[in-house]
Amino acid sequence: MKIIVYGAHDDEIPYLTQWQAKTGHTVEVHQELLDAQTVAWAAGFDGINALQTTPYSREVFAQMAAFGIHFLTIRNVGTDNIDLAAAAEYGVRIANVPAYSPNAIAEFAVTMTLHLLRRLGAVEATLATGDYQGATKFIGRELAQQTVGVVGAGRIGRAAIHLFNGFGAKVLAYDPHPVQDDGLACRYVELDELLAQADIIDLHIPGIPANDHIIDADALAKMKRGALLINTARGNLIDTQAMLAALTSGQLGGAGIDTYEHETENLLAINATGRFADPLWDRLRALPNVVLTPHIAYHTETAVQNMVDYSLNYLIEFLTQGATETEVAAR
């Protein structure tokens, strides 16, 4: 089979090369993203494999259909950036990798939590001024004494619940569709109760429109004063202006944000500006009780190898058997 790969990161290329050598399929690798222009390179290929957080648009699917390409596999979990209705309209079928390593993201959420609890941002900022004694003044909190509220007990949320349990924290969870898991030590509660009781609120839900700004000014006001908010899921879940106001007033004690609300528009503009230029991002970055990262919670060796191998295997299943178990249904 002839496969064209888009959005390849440097650290994926060795795994793409190994997969090609192991399977004998032809793989043409591009670092550019799949969009209305670059889709032209796919003419003559059997299937497309891609990774990006920027949109997969109607034009991409129209062009794929014109080339007779019916299958796209993505190397990641989230499908919120895909116009699934347009894909279905053009007969393009899509599969994701729902579980390349839930632990990678869950561990990152725990990392951010510990960073904020021990006030490392303030310690580092004070040390950077040369004030060694001042940097000894930031007393921390222990995770074992905290109540963690996990919103979304899917694959990543459940991995996070196990990890927080391992640290001795009390864990509450909210999920309208909880899966049966007898080994999971948490108490399911309604969202309002979770917001009111948790010292740490940890989001692991998809960025579908229904979840847009689930954490808004009202939700922030329902939290305990000084609570910490962790988002490694999707940027649209939090009203960032409201979060900044809550951080400024002290209602929110800190935030760990791997997925930033305006990530997509900034990434789409980056070619013009040459940098991630966003005043709101810069204001958040300046706060010692905020840790911002550039959508890297997934980024481990295990995850990256699985993203490449699983997504290419799913594409071959699509092409040779007409089906693969991780096919994403149109919303």
Active-site residue, selected from the candidate residues 93, 234, 261, 317 = 234
The answer to whether the beta carbons of residues 277 and 266 sit under 8 Å apart is yes
The candidate with the shortest Cα–Cα distance to 96, out of 84, 108, 86, is 84
x-or-dash pattern for ligand NAD, window 58-87, by CB under 6 A? Answer: -------------------xx---------
Neighbours of 107 (CB within 10 A): 17
Phi then psi dihedrals of residue 240, to 5 deg? -70, -35
Of 47 and 154, which CB lies nearer to ligand COI in the complex structure?
A: 154
174 contact partners, CB below 8 Å, separation of at least 6: 149, 150, 151, 152, 153, 188, 189, 190, 191, 194
The residue annotated as part of the active site, out of 75, 155, 158, 263, is: 263
3-state secondary structure 10-28: HHHHHHHHHHHHHHCCEEE
Least Cβ distance, residue 131 to ligand NAD (angstroms): 34
Is 275 part of the annotated catalytic residue set? no
Pick from 49, 63, 73, 76 the residue near ligand COI by CB under 6 A: 76
What backbone phi and psi angles, to 5 degrees, belong to 156? -75, -40
> With CB cut-offs between 5 and 8 Å by kind, which of ligand NAD, ligand COI, none does residue 232 bind?
ligand NAD
In one letter, which amino acid is 48?
I
Of 141 and 213, nearer to ligand NAD (C-beta) is 213
User: What residues are paired with 94 via a beta bridge?
Assistant: 72
Residue number of the CB closest to ligand NAD reads: 154
Under rule CB under 6 A, residue 298 binds ligand COI: yes
Is residue 115 flagged as an active site residue?
no
Among 12, 175, 199, 202, binds ligand NAD (CB under 6 A): 175
Minimum separation from the CB atom of position 151 to ligand NAD (A): 5
Q: Stretches 39-47, 116-124, 201-209, 322-330: which one binds ligand NAD (CB under 6 A)?
A: 201-209
d(CA 117, CA 175): 25
110 phi, psi to nearest 5 deg: -65, -40
d(CA 2, CA 28): 8
To ligand NAD, the closest distance from the beta carbon of 165 in angstroms equals 17
**Site residues (CB under 6 A) for ligand NAD?**
77-78, 98, 102, 105, 151-157, 174-177, 204-207, 211, 214, 232-234, 258-259, 295, 297-298
Q: Indicate which residues carry an active-site annotation.
A: 234, 263, 295
In the complex, which residues of this chain contact ligand COI (CB under 6 A)?
53, 76-78, 295, 298
